[in-house]
Amino acid sequence: MTSASATPTKPRPSLAGLALTVLAAAALIISLAGATWFALVGKLDVNFSDLKGLTSLDSAPTFQHIYFGWLGWALAIVVIVALLVAVVIPVALVARAAQIVAIVLSLAGALLTLQAINELSNQDPGGGFVDHFGWLQLGGYLHVVGWVLAIIAAVVASRGRARAR
């Protein structure tokens, strides 16, 4: 008589979810840490830090000051941590909560980024949202792509965990 021992297996992290998490984190951090966000026709190129300084002026909308001042970084850090928890922590309830946080905050991050860009239209009556979106450079695009990759990473992490069951 042979006895098969029923050893419970720990769910392994989703490699695809982990790879997408790393890509999302890289895109968000590079976009915030120094990549050019806007090329203002013939004037200057500005990165996220420059936007913080420019939006601290009294004439800048409060929302832009908050987003470029601290909210953009805070959202990115919380989303990256939530994605890492969702991919690495083997406790299903904790991973699911982290996935929801990552998805909701990534959607908010993408929408808030677009709103911050849109508010440039209020400051420059000669151009609209489409004009200002046309000024975007690598940093701005990476930021939006980072939010999209974060959403995909959270979804992939949940699918990888569901297959492991």
pLDDT digits (tens, 9 = 90+) for 14-64: 789 899 999 999 999 999 998 888 776 556 788 888 888 777 777 667 888
For residue 45, what pLDDT is reported? 84
Residue 161 pLDDT more than 60? no
For residue 23, what pLDDT is reported? 97
Give the number of other Cβ atoms within 10 Å of residue 78's Cβ: 15
Contacts of 103 (CB under 8 A, 6+ apart): 150, 151, 154, 155
Angle in degrees, CA 127, 37, 98, rounded to 5:
115
pLDDT in tens, 124-133: 655 565 666 6
Tell me which residue of 14, 37, 17 sits closest to 25, measured CA to CA.
Answer: 17
Among the listed ranges 22-31, 55-64, 67-76, 152-161, which one has the minimum average pLDDT value?
55-64
Give the number of other Cβ atoms within 10 Å of residue 88's Cβ: 16
Greater confidence (159 vs 102) lies with 102
pLDDT in tens, 84-103: 999 998 788 999 999 999 99
* Single pTM value for the model: 0.82
DSSP code of residue 91:
-
For residue 90, what pLDDT is reported? 78
